[in-house]
Structure 1
Amino acid sequence: MTYTENVQLALQSITSNRLRTMLTALIIAIGLSALVGILTTLDAVKKSMTEAFSSMGANSFNIRNRGSGIRIGGGQRPKPFKVIRYEDALTFKERLNTPAKVAVSVMATGGATVKFSTEKTNPNINIQGIDENGLASQGLELAQGRNFNLTETQSGSNICIIGSEVAQKLFKNQSPIDQIINVGNSRLKVVGVLVSKGQSMGFSGDRSVYVPLLKAKLINANANPSYTITVMVPSNDIMDNVIGEATAEFRKIRKIRVTDPNNFEITKSDAMAQTFFEQMQAIVWGGIAIGIITLLGASIALMNIMLVSVTERTREIGIRKAIGANPSVIRKQFLIEAIMICLMGGTLGIFLGIAIGNLISLGMGGSFIIPWQWIFGGFAVCVLVGIVSGYYPAKKASKLDPVEALRYE
């Protein structure tokens, strides 16, 4: 008997037991959707994180008063050191004698309302102070207008650069350049509009307003903010040397004694992503464990159904053996039937898993992906579950005595 005939017989059996088959396939679908959903979510978030950090440039590092704070589950919260002052950040920028470019930035407020004429935004606009290198350090590009110059950042000019979402909300179809907007209690002239970057891990540059560094210092909602220093190195070959120079220079500025440890954190942009990915492995293994446990239950249910099917079709097996079917043919028939039930449930489960995973990812600010490796892996798991669950019932069916099977009823 050919595989085509075995597939046709399997489809006939599945059609004659629709409810039982659907329930079993649904259990398999739930198991695979849990597995594929969790892994799809993690892949999508990982892709978003990689894009976010790569846009900042792989050859850069940050100097902050505390660690990145990336931790999953337990673990100690990074110890905060004393804040990095405005004066310290500018002194470092002037003194660092390397080929690297230095950018200084600070978050002024995270809940401002921006107004223009009768239009206004929701009170969720980030106001960030940057210098002339700030846009480059964050991987931001101008769609219209110009960047700040050195004089403007140091004099605190009443100008700003706005994100694309802010521009679209306030100005609709007109040009924002040289228009006056109200940002909180400040009146600022728009000199630039950024290219849309989308949202990454909850932060959106499109929903931000960038002001000169000194202006941010004057309007900052925090009385004692800590500034972030970003050092952009032209080549990865000299990264370690520049980090060494930066560490020594900033220790002098902070007046740290030789015997004392650093009271600031230096973090490479890609190192932050790698730390996050390493700590996410626990979630990956947790997702795999949940999927395996659910699939184990599904495989037991499938084996039980196949054993019932063998018992119900004992006479049919006897007739087929009497007309020449050998044990190998009978065994293949029941194995193919088990695999087909798994593939039916697996197809639904993989589709649901990808949909759920991407919905969660988009809700977290991640991107949409089609995880081909999990799709092919899911189908491979379906075939494996079908073989494992169907082998014993198929073997039992192939060993039935044709005479006893014909007398069964």
Structure 2
Amino acid sequence: MNLIENILEGLRSIHGNLLRTVLTGLIIAFGIMSLVGILTAVDSMKYSLTKTFSSLGANSFDIRRAGMNNRGMDQGRAEKVYPVISYNQAVMYKEQMPADARVSLSAFVSGATVVKSETEKTNPNVNIVAGDENYMLNNSLNLSKGRDFSTFEQEQGANVAIVGDEIVSTLFKNQEAVGNYISFLGRRFKIIGVLEKKGSSMGGSGDRRIIIPLETGRQIPRTGEGTLNYDIKTAIYRADELDYVMGEATGVMRNIRQDALGQEDSFEIRRSDSALRSLDEISGYLKIGGFLIGFITLLGASVGLMNIMMVSVNERTREIGVRKALGATAFQIRQQFLIEAIVICILGGFVGVMLGIVMGNGIASLMGEGGFIVPWIWVIVGMAICVIVGVISGYYPAFKASKLDPIESLRYE
């Protein structure tokens, strides 16, 4: 008997015991389904969350002057006060960064500001931010109404504003806000856009924000608050290049700020993908947990498969004796039973992989919008595990069958 004949004989034996084969295959299928399903769900949810984080600026970093949020004493010593990032320094950085890095400049103009319309006014809790042409895009701010600033308005410092949703609901309860005028900081501004509502996720501060052109913010007089401190945000298209671009940005900024060799940076760079890195760590633990659950299920399935193969050997003792009497070697007998076990595992594994992909993507879709993921690596791993389980579970019954005495086997009833 050659290999092909053994495979055909194994398939005939499987077909002759179809119910037992189906039940055994289902045990394997459920094990693979739990393995592939959990890992598919994790990958699909990670894909969806990665897209969300990327749209929120995960592939970006911010540059601010050092010590900006840590004023005071450090271990009994007064912290060094670094100069603000000036407008010229921010513009030089923007010009020197490569074209594939999208740089936006912004400045916090005023906080706790009162904003007035013709008939209403807000509480003193509105923040005024000046931003350039990339500010909205880099900060993932979308408009529910109106438009963004034009190039002319940015260059000339026009008195136009984009306002948050809460300001609109306070000042323009029953009328259209776009096209109307508001007053703050001693100037009158025309509303050209309204930001999408952020809700409680940002503590409401995002809805109490007004954005004006960067040049306009530079023109507003500062009373006792010093010069504007400019923040720089750099976004890139590929997350895997973030470390490289950050290193390049550090060199550019040190040169612009004239930080001496060996001196610490007079600015700080903060990544915006910390949540994404935490997600990678959590998803890694989930994958380990999913793999362990699937492995335990497959371990139980392998015990069940071995038991069924042992029963099959006992039922076919006389058949084994006939084969040996006709010249079949112990290796051929052992090969036949191994092939049967492996075929059962592969059939069950294939069904389990299909069910696992459907189950995993179904779970991910219930928890949020995500892409349809086929984890090819885990599919290959799952099928390989099926073959290994088939070999391990089928070897002892096959070995036992190959050692049967042909005379005793022919006399077996």
Smaller-chain TM-score range? Answer: 0.5 to 0.7
TM-score with structure 2 setting the length: 0.61
Q: Within 5 Å, which residues of 2 pair with 1:32-71?
A: 32-53=32-53, 60-62=60-62
Secondary structure (helix, strand or coil) at the match of 2:233 reads: strand
Cα distance, 1:48 vs structure 2: 3.4
* Equivalent residue, structure 2, for 1:99: 93
TM-score with structure 1 setting the length: 0.61
Bigger radius of gyration among the two: 2
| Distance (whole Å) between structure 1 residues aligned to residue 20 and residue 408 of structure 2 | 27
* Equivalent residue, structure 1, for 2:250: 240
1:292 matched to 2:295? The reply is yes
Contact 1:59 1:239 in 2 (8 A): no
Q: Which of 366, 370, 373 pairs up with 1:366?
A: 370
Q: Residue 400 of structure 1 aligns to which amino acid in structure 2?
A: L
| Distance (whole Å) between structure 1 residues aligned to residue 89 and residue 323 of structure 2 | 87
Q: Within 5 Å, which residues of 2 pair with 1:221-300?
A: 231-232=233-234, 236=245, 237-241=247-251, 267-300=270-303
1:134 matched to 2:143? The reply is no
Unaligned runs of 5+ in 2: 72-83, 95-102, 109-128, 180-191, 196-200, 213-230, 237-243, 258-267
Secondary structure (helix, strand or coil) at the match of 1:12 reads: helix
Contact 1:40 1:354 in 2 (8 A): yes
Q: Residue 291 of structure 1 aligns to which amino acid in structure 2?
A: G
Q: Within 5 Å, which residues of 2 pair with 1:101-116?
A: 101-102=103-104
1:341 matched to 2:339? The reply is no
Structure 1 residues 158 and 340, CA gap change in structure 2 (3 angstroms): same
Q: Residue 346 of structure 1 aligns to which amino acid in structure 2?
A: G
Contact 1:39 1:357 in 2 (8 A): yes
Contact 2:58 2:273 in 1 (8 A): yes
Cα distance, 1:343 vs structure 2: 1.1
1:328 matched to 2:338? The reply is no
| Distance (whole Å) between structure 1 residues aligned to residue 345 and residue 60 of structure 2 | 49
Structure 1 residues 33 and 317, CA gap change in structure 2 (3 angstroms): same
Structure 1 residues 239 and 366, CA gap change in structure 2 (3 angstroms): farther
* Equivalent residue, structure 2, for 1:305: 308
Cα distance, 1:396 vs structure 2: 0.4
Q: How many residues get paired?
A: 312
| Distance (whole Å) between structure 2 residues aligned to residue 6 and residue 369 of structure 1 | 37
Contact 2:57 2:235 in 1 (8 A): no
Q: Residue 378 of structure 2 aligns to which amino acid in structure 1?
A: W
Contact 1:105 1:134 in 2 (8 A): no
Percent of aligned pairs with the same residue? Answer: 45
| Distance (whole Å) between structure 1 residues aligned to residue 107 and residue 296 of structure 2 | 48
Q: Residue 239 of structure 1 aligns to which amino acid in structure 2?
A: A
| Distance (whole Å) between structure 1 residues aligned to residue 378 and residue 307 of structure 2 | 28
Cα distance, 1:266 vs structure 2: 6.1
Cα deviations by residue, 1:17-38 (Å, 9 ceiling, x for unpaired):
2222222211111111111111
